[in-house]
């Protein structure tokens, strides 16, 4: 398992959930919710710098059958812009099927309701995504997902 902090990013149309791992790459934790729009890439770059992230994992929303639709295309575009902004840090796309559902269910089971849940669900979904990527790397010995090349 590679050492170093990773960021997980769950990109939505309104909000971006961000999570971080510990330096050993074992545990993912919710970090922040960033408002989508002007300045979002700057904030993500600042977070990556603050935590000294070795890479950023961006969720790729695919259907249960594995097909990619408009949301996946938007995530690919966002990841490419982020990769261009974060170079030389690596940005990877990883399957994020059911991360928001898992996050919602976990928060609901934990008694987090209404507005409080809406405020943290995106960063919790990012933590679910990142934890899945970390677990996958630990199992396979290979970095997760696909590397994204910078661009616009």
Say if residue 110's pLDDT is above 60: yes
Say if residue 51's pLDDT is above 90: yes
pLDDT in tens, 4-41: 999 999 999 999 999 999 999 999 999 999 999 999 99
Give the fold, CATH level 3, of 6-140. Answer: Nucleotidyltransferase; domain 5 (3.30.420)
Per-residue confidence (pLDDT) for residue 120, from 0 to 100: 80
Cα 148 from chain centre: 13
Place of tokens 């309701």: 113
Q: List the chain domain ranges.
A: 6-140
Per-residue confidence (pLDDT) for residue 105, from 0 to 100: 67
Residue 119 phi/psi, 5° resolution? -75, -25
Residue 126 phi/psi, 5° resolution? -65, -35
Say if residue 118's pLDDT is above 70: no
The answer to whether the CB of 107 falls within 8 A of the CB of 123 is no
């Amino acid at each position: 398992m590679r050492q170093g902090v990773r960021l997980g990013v769950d990109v939505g149309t309104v909000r971006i959930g961000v999570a971080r791992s510990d330096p050993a790459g074992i545990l993912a934790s919710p970090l922040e919710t960033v408002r989508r729009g002007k300045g979002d890439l700057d904030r993500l770059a600042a977070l990556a710098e603050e935590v000294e992230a070795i890479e950023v994992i961006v969720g790729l929303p695919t259907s249960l059958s594995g097909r990619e639709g408009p949301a996946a295309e938007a995530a690919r575009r966002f990841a490419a812009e982020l990769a261009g902004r974060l170079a030389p840090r690596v940005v990877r796309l990883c399957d994020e099927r059911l991360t928001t559902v898992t996050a919602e269910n976990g928060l609901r089971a934990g008694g987090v309701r209404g507005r409080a849940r809406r405020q943290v669900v995106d960063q919790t979904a990012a933590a679910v995504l990142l934890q899945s990527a970390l677990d996958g790397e630990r199992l396979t010995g290979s970095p997760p997902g696909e590397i994204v090349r910078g661009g616009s």
